[in-house]
Structure 1
Amino acid sequence: MLFILVVLVLWLRSFIVPLLSLSTVALSFIILLNISTNFVKYINFPISTFTERDEGVLQPVAAIQKGAAVIGTVILSAIVILSGTFAALIPSGIMTLIQVAIAVIVGLLILFISLPLMLSAYIKLTYKEK
């Protein structure tokens, strides 16, 4: 979660956007932290799918692919819905809401890209071959 805060601080406090208040960064961080912790419950399913291979049902690569395919559709639909919800704040005309909406949408895109990579790496490091 520290990574999300660092990205937000570097991106939102850069020379591109010098007029952002620190409250925008803090609010964006709190929202993204809440969203990412809610995605943790969806990570349990691919890991349990991967542990099915211990019973001889699946090979490790097939188990990771099956789990990632299931979690991918759930998280992709959640990210699309949340991005649309926060995009509805953009036409409000209030600068803080616009900045928070854009920051959350960018954070969701980063989460969507990094989650499958981290999940497969986590499984590979945690469960050793027998």
Structure 2
Amino acid sequence: MNLNEAIDLLKEKGYKTTGKRKDILTYFEKADGYRTAKDLIQYMELSHEGISFDTVYRNLHLYDKVGILETTELNGEKQFRMNCTDHHHHHFICNDCGKTKPLEVCPMDDIENKLANYAIEGHKFEIYGLCPGCISA
């Protein structure tokens, strides 16, 4: 998802696109991998002095709810990244830097046959480790 798609989705869902909301979206559009609320606050404080944690968390929750951001838990902390909406895939996530690598395979292809009598409503599959850059650092 890119910035314009995210803004269109907000408008479609009846939400205003304020300057702060656009700045948050811009941050995640440029981010390479998952980022924490703390990372976002540090970025936002550069242009929005005194921005509150409440404002940041409220917008992160909104973006997650409407499908703009996807979340994961990494090192015991909730982290966010711009949602990849172009096709179904999963990620390898670096435990150090949060960068991701898309995985074009889905374990559900094998599992669905084993759960034929179940109503599957969703799934999430992630692999954690160190990316090549963090291994060599």
Fold match, TM over 0.5?
Answer: no
Instruction: Report which of the two structures shows the higher radius of gyration computed on alpha carbons.
Output: 1
- TM-score, length basis structure 2: 0.32
- TM-score, length basis structure 1: 0.33
| Structure with the higher fraction of residues in helix conformation | 1
| Structure with the higher fraction of residues in strand conformation | 2
